[in-house]
Amino acid sequence: MGPSHTFMDLANAINGAFARWDRSHLSMFTLSDGRVVTDEETGVEMVASVGGPVMVPSLDIDVTKVVRTVELGAEFQYTFDFGDAWIHRCMVGEAKVDPLEVLGVRPEVPLPYWGWGSIPDQYGRRWATDDGESRTPGRPSQPHPMLRRAWRSQAQAPSIDLTELRAAIGAGDAARFLAAVTGHDIDDALQQVGVGVPMALEQRRQEGEPVALSIINRLTWRGGPGDRLLAEDLLAILRGELLTGQVVPIDLEMLSTLLEGDLDQSTGGYVDLRTGEVYDDSATDPMIVGEAAAIDVEEEPDRWLRVNRTGSRDAWQDMAAFAERQHDALRERLEPAMEGKGAFSRFRDLVHGENLTEHWCIFSTDRQIGRAREFIADNGVRVG
């Protein structure tokens, strides 16, 4: 590709390489920072749509130059036909090449110069190392990370510092919040990051709006526990609309601990729907907290939402989801460790040994908060 080539030129090259003759379908490129490159009309519809994914204001596929937009070594995605969703993994080489040396010509449009497969391989190879005699390789045991929505490399950006993020949110400092988010890998912490978006929009609308749109887009793309709900709430706030239903300022992390804590320690507790405070069962016992401090849920039953422990099933699924994202050798060690008694401690030990404890904590905490958000929504309450 040359410096004058647009993303549309690249799309045509990809479609040509895959012998697509019917190109009357929508398509788009998704960059690693959440930006989208598509036609102007589709971009406007994506931003304005309530039911579909909301994207960062898109770049125009017909005029945006590829070389000016992505850097050497970058990875991005091309999707052809929103219905069938043919997904292509695109990577920029680590070093530039001279087309005259590689091709002998300087092409006017992007040109494939290496490849394999039934189309368009001129030698009839069916896979990269096909010698015409070997047996067809089996299907991969795991889908490619891009198909698991885990395609962005952890090495592309530093992990978000949750201590700094929480400090910024606690201080109500929008500039500090935006600095903590910008340039960092936030995809495993979207529920935690989303808490600070309303503050950023209120204090620094111009800077906060593209961040909010990117987070909404990432939530829609990820589709994890509570992600749809948070995306809807952030979109409503972005548009200045009131949240539907009863809105209560609840500490979801504390609620998630109550929902998924140790059954041997407590059977559950209550949420005060007036203040948003979360209480363990012990708070209702005068023998433990004292007569004056004990809450009486029977006096105002409509004020209190009962919370029962959910057990360890969801936590086990979190481990399975985290293991699926790892490289083959580590995944093969993690999956057996999750079976039988002591699975949680064995899993944590293995994760710690691989220096992945921080990543695991961010990942699992976000899913727990998402489930707490779903629990509250199922009871007719939105988190304010």
Q: What is the reported pLDDT for 263?
A: 65
The answer to whether the beta carbons of residues 37 and 29 sit under 8 Å apart is yes
* CA proximity to 183, closest of 158, 161, 205, 206: 158
State the Cα–Cα distance between residues 330 and 315, nearest whole angstrom: 19
State the chain's maximal CA–CA distance in angstroms: 88
* Strand duo 27-30 + 75-80: pairing: antiparallel
User: What phi and psi values does residue 200 have, to the nearest 5 degrees?
Assistant: -65, -40
The answer to whether the beta carbons of residues 163 and 169 sit under 8 Å apart is no
CA distances from 302 to 248, 274, 315, 361 (A): 14, 10, 30, 35
Residue 187 has what DSSP assignment?
Answer: T
State the Cα–Cα distance between residues 51 and 105, nearest whole angstrom: 47
* Strand duo 304-308 + 278-280: pairing: unpaired
State the Cα–Cα distance between residues 134 and 81, nearest whole angstrom: 34
3-state secondary structure 307-368: EECCCCHHHHHHHHHHHHCCCHHHHHHHHHHCCCCCHHHHHHHHHHHCCCHHHHHHHHHHHH
Can you read off the two tokens belonging to residue 62?
A: 């017909």
Question: 21, exposed or middle or buried, with CB in 10 Å at 0-12, 13-18, 19+?
Answer: exposed
Residue 379 has what DSSP assignment?
Answer: T
Digits of tens for pLDDT over the chain (384 positions)?
Answer: 889 999 999 999 999 988 888 888 889 998 887 788 999 888 777 655 544 444 556 899 999 999 999 999 999 999 998 877 889 999 999 988 899 998 899 888 998 888 877 676 656 777 878 888 888 888 887 777 776 655 655 445 678 899 999 999 999 999 999 989 887 888 899 999 999 999 999 999 988 888 888 888 888 888 899 999 999 999 899 888 888 889 999 999 999 999 987 766 678 899 999 999 999 998 988 888 888 888 998 989 999 999 998 877 888 999 999 998 888 888 889 989 888 888 888 999 999 998 999 999 999 999 999 999 999 999 999 998
Q: For tokens 């209560």, what's the residue?
A: 248
* CA proximity to 160, closest of 326, 354, 362: 362
State the Cα–Cα distance between residues 379 and 374, nearest whole angstrom: 9
* CA proximity to 235, closest of 223, 244, 247: 244
Q: What is the reported pLDDT for 41?
A: 85
The answer to whether the beta carbons of residues 366 and 224 sit under 8 Å apart is yes
State the Cα–Cα distance between residues 359 and 350, nearest whole angstrom: 13
Q: For the whole model, what pTM was predicted?
A: 0.65
Q: What is the reported pLDDT for 155?
A: 47
- Let me know the angle formed at the C-alpha of 90 by 73 and 326, rounded to the nearest 5 degrees: 80
State the Cα–Cα distance between residues 361 and 344, nearest whole angstrom: 13
Q: Name the CA radius of gyration of the chain, rounded.
A: 25
